[in-house]
Amino acid sequence: MRFRRFVNQDQVQQHNSFKQFQRWRQERLRKLRQKDYSYIVPSVEPDLAFLSENRGLPAITWIGHSTFLLQIGGLNIVTDPVWSGQMAFQKRLSAPGIPIDRMPPVDVVLVSHSHYDHLSIASLRRLTGAKRLLVPAGLSAKLRLKGFSNIQEFEWWETTLVNGVAFTFVPSQHWTRRNPWDTNSSHWGGWIIEPPGASAASWADAYSQDQGGKSINEAAASAQAAAGQPSASASKPSSRRPLVSSSPTLYFAGDSGYFRGFKEIGSRFRIDVALMPIGAYEPEWFMGPQHVTPEESLQAFQDIGAEWFVPMHYGTFKLADDTPKEALDRLEQGRKQSGIEEERVVVLPLGETWRLAEWPTDQPL
């Protein structure tokens, strides 16, 4: 049977040939000797008690790379499940924000595409719960061969409801391959997550001022200093995190180069929080068609019209020539140059849970 081959919205040359890969590899051997990987992404102890019991408060917890635990509309949702200790020959740079054996039961798994740093079969198997898999078109056959059955495939702009929460698969500019023969045999994209009442929910109009004007990296350094504190103090809701909405719309961008589709996504959805990639962009001649730079990620954030930006896809694996600190430095500089308010860029430490709303004082957890 002949594979269907998926394509991007625009004709772009993906630099994924063996010859181009060899050129990058030769350049990389020289560059990596000069790179400083001493910076480790900050982490805090996860609030496992809250995460295991929470079924009503919208919350975001970064586990690492493109893996998040999203608690929305009473569902536990995992994006791009990867708890792997290494990627190819590169060891993981930072431990997952939540150990996989401490994860609450998972209701929905969102997969952006089939690359190994976004879909680990071993990790997927170890997650507990119903694990309804929402995946790009063309990927379900591979997953069924691996023993999974609760799967639904999506083309771009298709939507499904799970317990009243709407999941829409939206375009990105990327490509896929898991072996030498299946290039672009499954699709790629991002996900819009809309809980019941999302369209009527209003954005918060006030921010906490506890940051005191700290830069992105200063805020991250403060979180680093918190690492090692007891869970009760390190994982309490952070007063410096903004309140968003009791029914927020989230955008999980997956992997993408910069493209016109971001504006179309913004025209179709009112987005509160965007989870955006900022890493694996160097060298730009090689990575540009498939991975945004931090500056392009900020432009995409403005294109979609979201209110808050959460960076991801950095600091976990050495997938390209940029380092975690370089990505954060460029993100901060780009934010200043773009005139984006500092409070709107929320750099999460691994393991911290950002509670997007507050419980009424008379309502238990």
CATH code where residue 339 lies: 3.60.15.10
Higher per-residue confidence, 147 vs 230:
147
CB 194 within 8 A of CB 166: yes
Instruction: Give mean pLDDT, residues 10-18.
Output: 70
- pLDDT for res 89: 80
Residue 358, classified by CB atoms within 10 Å of its CB into exposed (0-12), middle (13-18) or buried (19+), is exposed
Q: What is the pLDDT of residue 227?
A: 40
Report the amino acid identity of residue 106: V
Give the model's pLDDT for residue 30.
66
Q: Is residue 15 part of a domain?
A: no
Residue 332 belongs to some domain of the structure: yes
Provide the token pair at 348. Answer: 């999460």
Kindly report, residue by residue over 156-213, the tens digit of the pLDDT. Answer: 999 999 999 999 999 999 999 999 899 999 999 999 999 998 754 433 333 333 334 4
Which one is predicted more confidently, 130 or 236? 130
Does some domain include residue 21? no
pLDDT in tens, 228-253: 333 333 334 444 799 999 999 999 99
**Helix 294-304 / helix 324-338 crossing angle, nearest 10 deg:** 50
What's the structural domain count of the chain? 1
Kindly report whether the global pTM for this prediction surpasses the value 0.75: yes
pLDDT of residue 14: 64
Each residue's pLDDT tens digit, 84-117: 999 988 899 999 999 999 999 999 999 999 999 9
* Beta bridge mates, 152: 134
Of residues 344 and 363, the one with the higher pLDDT is: 344
Residue 293: inside a domain: yes
Strand order in the sheet with 273-277: 159-162, 165-170, 190-194, 250-252, 273-277, 308-312
Q: What is the three-class DSSP state of 334?
A: helix
Q: What is the pLDDT of residue 13?
A: 72
Distance of CA 169 to the CA centre of its chain: 14
288-335 pLDDT, tens digit each: 889 999 999 999 999 999 999 999 999 999 988 899 999 999 999 999
- Domain-embedded: residue 130: yes
Q: Higher model confidence: residue 11 or residue 275?
A: 275
In a domain? residue 288: yes
- Model pLDDT, residue 104: 98
The token duo for 1 is 């049977």
DSSP 278: -
Tokens 């295991």, residue located: 52
Distances (CA, A) of 347 to 5, 20, 43: 36, 33, 11
Q: Look up tokens 């959460």; give the residue.
A: 310
Q: What is the pLDDT of residue 361?
A: 55
- Asked, for residue 190, whether it belongs to a domain, the answer is yes
Tokens linked to 288 = 């540009």
pLDDT per residue as tens digits for the range 16-30: 556 666 665 666 666
Place of tokens 């771009």: 156
Give the domain range for residue 57. 35-354
Q: DSSP state, 100?
A: G
Query: Does 1 score more than 50 pLDDT?
Result: no
Count of alpha carbons within 13 Å of 113, Cβ hemisphere only? 27
CA distance 58 to 74: 8
Most distant CA pair in the chain, distance: 63
Three-state DSSP class for 32? helix
At residue 295, what is the residue type? E
CA 123 to CA 100: how far, in whole Å? Answer: 8
Return the axis-axis angle of helices 216-226 and 324-338, rounded to nearest 10°.
Answer: 140
Question: Which secondary-structure segment (H or E) carries 109?
Answer: strand 108-110
CB atoms within 10 A of CB 361: 5
Is 20 a domain residue? no
Q: How far is CA 126 from the centre of its chain?
A: 20
What confidence tens digit (pLDDT) does each residue in 33-89 have?
Answer: 677 888 999 999 999 999 999 999 999 999 999 999 999 999 999 999 999 999 988
Average pLDDT over residues 263-285: 95
The Cα–Cα gap between 116 and 84 comes to 10
